Amino acid sequence: MHDLVIFTNEAMTKHNQGLGHPECSARLERILDMVKNDMPNIPIEKAYPADENTLLLAHPQDHLDSILDNTPFDGYHAIDGDTYLSPTSYDAALISVGAGVQAVKAVVNGETKTAFALSRPPGHHAEYDTAMGFCLFANAFIAARSSSVRTLIIDFDVHHGNGTEDLVKRHTANGHDDIAYASTHQGLGFWPNTGHVDAKNICNAPLSVGTTSDDFRKTVTNKIIPFAKLFNPELIIFSAGFDAHESDPLGELNLTHNDFGWIVDQIKSICPRIVSILEGGYNLDTLPTSVKHHLQALKNTKQ
């Protein structure tokens, strides 16, 4: 069995949201370069598009149709002020979902202990029937739904995963108790300005502007870990956003590279089966180093 496998596909670099958009192809390219240069022993497997039935685990057909219908033949279509479609966006988004689903399958089937979906566009802002915040489909939630094991999604992106919360709440309201969501994120007044209260199967830990590594670790230890222990998951899915790093141009938190490995070490002792799916992280110079710390912790199975 492998310790860590990466699922990716360079076809996802063809999704383009316009010149100067922070959610750009170079994010994936820089991370992939780092892996090939610094961590050449990690197996990389090709991610394939999810089929439409898999997307229906989270979204209604109307949502899929609206993304496809609005996909332009050339140029861009603006879904909102942040989120754009280019001609290959739908195809890239299907692969992005597929990478997470394949990663879950590989871990649940025992082919690898942990897996990382190096994918874009990200997914945690995509709600039941709304694309927003650079996200078209709910990658992490769909990955959770794709298996029948009890799954906790832990989101450390600087932005609250309003989409994942929306879908977990709907899933819970429909009588299911097998998926939960826990998030640390920059709190009040910061986009998307959700994630201030807890609910059944939802644990929100908002952080104030300037939160340091120490404060982040205290919050995870005091709030996220007890919630995770109580939920008792068989699988963890990280919504791995690296925009809470101190150098990120969008966030205002002060996490360090080490924090992205530290949180893996903490969670591993509760549940060693881990899938991590890339969300945000927009400083192209520091993003690969943050991901490297995260991958080193995922790969280290000596616990």
Which candidate, 128, 125, 132, places its Cα nearest to that of 158? 125
Sign of CA dihedral 165, 144, 21, 258: positive
The amino acid that residue 149 corresponds to is V
| Contact stretch for Zn ion (CB under 5 A) within 159-167, 209-217, 226-234, 294-302 | 159-167
What's the min distance (Å) between Cβ of 22 and Zn ion? 9
Pick between residue 147 and residue 183 the one whose CB is nearest to Zn ion.
183
Pick between residue 237 and residue 271 the one whose CB is nearest to Zn ion.
237
The residue whose two tokens read 């979204």 is 59
Pick between residue 45 and residue 157 the one whose CB is nearest to Zn ion.
157
| Contact stretch for Zn ion (CB under 5 A) within 69-77, 96-104, 161-169, 235-243 | 235-243
Pick between residue 45 and residue 243 the one whose CB is nearest to Zn ion.
243
Which residues 6+ apart lie within 8 Å of 20 measured at CB? Answer: none
Pick between residue 63 and residue 185 the one whose CB is nearest to Zn ion.
185
Q: Could you count the other beta carbons within 10 Å of the beta carbon of residue 212?
A: 15
Kindly state whether residue 159 participates in binding Zn ion, applying the rule CB under 5 A.
yes
| Contact stretch for Zn ion (CB under 5 A) within 44-52, 145-153, 211-219, 233-241 | 233-241
What's the min distance (Å) between Cβ of 144 and Zn ion? 19
What's the min distance (Å) between Cβ of 109 and Zn ion? 30
Which residues 6+ apart lie within 8 Å of 65 measured at CB? Answer: none
Kindly state whether residue 243 participates in binding Zn ion, applying the rule CB under 5 A.
yes
267-296 positions binding Zn ion, by CB under 5 A: 280
Of 49, 121, 195, 241, the one binding Zn ion (CB under 5 A) is 241
The overall longest dimension of the chain from CA atoms, in Å, is 51
Pick between residue 216 and residue 231 the one whose CB is nearest to Zn ion.
216
| Contact stretch for Zn ion (CB under 5 A) within 52-60, 69-77, 157-165, 223-231 | 157-165
What's the min distance (Å) between Cβ of 243 and Zn ion? 4
List of long-range contacts for 259-262, beta carbons under 8 Å, 24+ apart? 259/213, 259/216, 259/217, 260/156, 260/290, 260/291, 260/293, 260/294, 260/297, 261/293, 261/294, 261/296, 261/297, 262/217, 262/297
Pick between residue 45 and residue 155 the one whose CB is nearest to Zn ion.
155
What's the min distance (Å) between Cβ of 252 and Zn ion? 12
What's the min distance (Å) between Cβ of 130 and Zn ion? 17
Pick between residue 64 and residue 220 the one whose CB is nearest to Zn ion.
220
Instruction: Name the residues that contact Zn ion, by CB under 5 A.
Output: 157, 159, 241, 243, 280
